[in-house]
Amino acid sequence: MSESRDPAGDSTTTNNMGEVREAEHQGAAVKAALGANIGVAIAKLLAAFFTGSSAMLSESVHSIADCSNEIVLMVGGRFSKRKTDGDHPFGLYRAKYLASFVVATLLFFVGGFFSTSEAVKKLVAISADPALRDVNRMELLVAFIVVVISACLEGFGLHQSIKEANERMERTNTPRMGVFRFWRRTKSAELASVIMEDTLALIGLAFAGLGIGLAIALDDEVFDALGGLMVGLVLIVGSLLLAFKSGSLLIGEAVDSDTRGKIVEAVTTTPGVERLLNMQTVHMSEDDILLCVKVQTSKLDRDYDVETVDKIEKAVRTALPWYNFEIYVEPDIYSAKHVHA
């Protein structure tokens, strides 16, 4: 199998250009989320300490977990850019995906499990002692105000994530799509994690606000505990979805259908290529793709095949300049066992 590299033969230059392209659109959402979550976590912790609100305690743990998650994502992103050694021939790009999977685990154990268990404890205590149902409306009102302020900050974080997602689609000439569809299709571990975190935060704050509001209106502390329970359950469900997404990326996902179509067109229209016999792709990171191609050339001649391989590599890089490609091309003869791309 022949490897097709950068036309100038300088793979380092290509990788550096890829890193510059990544820097243009990655990192802003994570940093914005971290900044917002630090402020939100402090406000929630103070409110939970002074009010004793179960929903606010659950939200405090949620924000602390989110801060930890952003730090893990930033460390994973920085580690993925380190120079590789012989044990990792295709680089350390997937450190980002590993970090995202760790984030999903933290969301479950630190956020979801703790919040749910604390809410259940409070519900059990209230059922054993009806006097605990009495509400201090002034304290819960403070907690409700903190929820509203936190929702504004989390909304800003989600806005930044959506803005970065739109920039990503524009940069890669991808048709605009909704946030949910983008989350399913994106190969960016950072964006997938931050979008999920911010969305869960807003949903959790809605349940927390509803629980605190009902507790104030109906003078019953049990609604505050139920709000905390719902926050924990939301975290658990969200962490499972994120674990599935990041796990799929970590195992290795192929390029999306639009990108695949552009690669196929670039290969099949290359002079000297008679037939595309097979093609496999794997995202090593959001912007780094391993491409393996088997083609039938016009001539069964070694020198001609080498020229055709170079042309294929140039065609693919020209068609999708926003990606870094590690390309391997094998000239072959068509047979029934070949599976077309």
pLDDT tens for the chain, residues 1 to 341: 555 444 333 443 344 444 444 444 456 667 767 777 787 788 888 888 887 787 788 778 777 777 777 787 777 777 777 776 667 777 777 888 888 888 887 777 777 888 888 889 888 988 888 888 887 888 888 889 888 988 888 888 888 888 888 888 888 888 888 888 889 888 988 888 888 888 988 998 899 999 999 999 998 889 988 998 998 899 888 888 888 998 898 888 999 888 999 999 999 999 988 889 999 999 988 889 999 999 988 776 666 778 889 999 999 999 999 999 999 998 888 765 655 55
CA 230, CA 236: separation in Å to the nearest integer?
10
| Residue 285 near residue 341 (C-beta atoms within 8 A) | no
CA 178, CA 290: separation in Å to the nearest integer?
27
CATH 3.30.70.1350 domain range(s) in the chain = 257-331
Q: Using alpha carbons, select from 82, 53, 65 the residue that is nearest to residue 238.
A: 65
| Residue 284 near residue 97 (C-beta atoms within 8 A) | no
pTM, 2 dp: 0.77
Q: Which residues pair with 281 in a beta bridge?
A: 291
Specify the DSSP element, H or E, that contains 273: strand 273-283
Q: One-letter amino acid identity for 230?
A: M
Sheet holding 2-4, edge to edge: 2-4, 324-331, 288-297, 273-283
Looking at residue 152, what is its pLDDT? Answer: 87
Looking at residue 85, what is its pLDDT? Answer: 67
- Which pair of structure tokens corresponds to residue 243? 């674990």
Looking at residue 319, what is its pLDDT? Answer: 93
Return the CATH architecture of domain 2-251: Up-down Bundle (1.20)
Looking at residue 16, what is its pLDDT? Answer: 42
Residue at token pair 């994690």:
193
CATH 1.20.1510 domain range(s) in the chain = 2-251
Q: One-letter amino acid identity for 323?
A: Y
Looking at residue 262, what is its pLDDT? Answer: 93
- Which pair of structure tokens corresponds to residue 99? 């970090």
- Tens of pLDDT, residue by residue over 255-293, are 988 899 999 999 999 998 888 999 999 998 888 999 999
What is the CATH T-level fold of the domain 257-331, as seen in this structure?
Answer: Alpha-Beta Plaits (3.30.70)
Within 8 A by CB and 6+ apart from 327, the residues are: 3, 4, 5, 291, 293, 312, 313, 316
Geometric angle at alpha carbon 148, from 145 and 149, rounded to 5°: 90
Q: Is 91 left (phi over 0), alpha (psi -120 to 50) or beta?
A: left
Looking at residue 337, what is its pLDDT? Answer: 60
| Residue 66 near residue 29 (C-beta atoms within 8 A) | no
Looking at residue 157, what is its pLDDT? Answer: 80
Specify the DSSP element, H or E, that contains 35: helix 28-51
Looking at residue 214, what is its pLDDT? Answer: 93
Geometric angle at alpha carbon 108, from 245 and 57, rounded to 5°: 135
Q: Are strands 288-297 and 324-331 parallel, antiparallel or unpaired?
A: parallel
Residue at token pair 């393996």:
292
The distance in angstroms from the start CA to the end CA of the chain is 18
Geometric angle at alpha carbon 323, from 257 and 248, rounded to 5°: 55
Looking at residue 29, what is its pLDDT? Answer: 66
CA 271, CA 137: separation in Å to the nearest integer?
76
Within 8 A by CB and 6+ apart from 302, the residues are: none
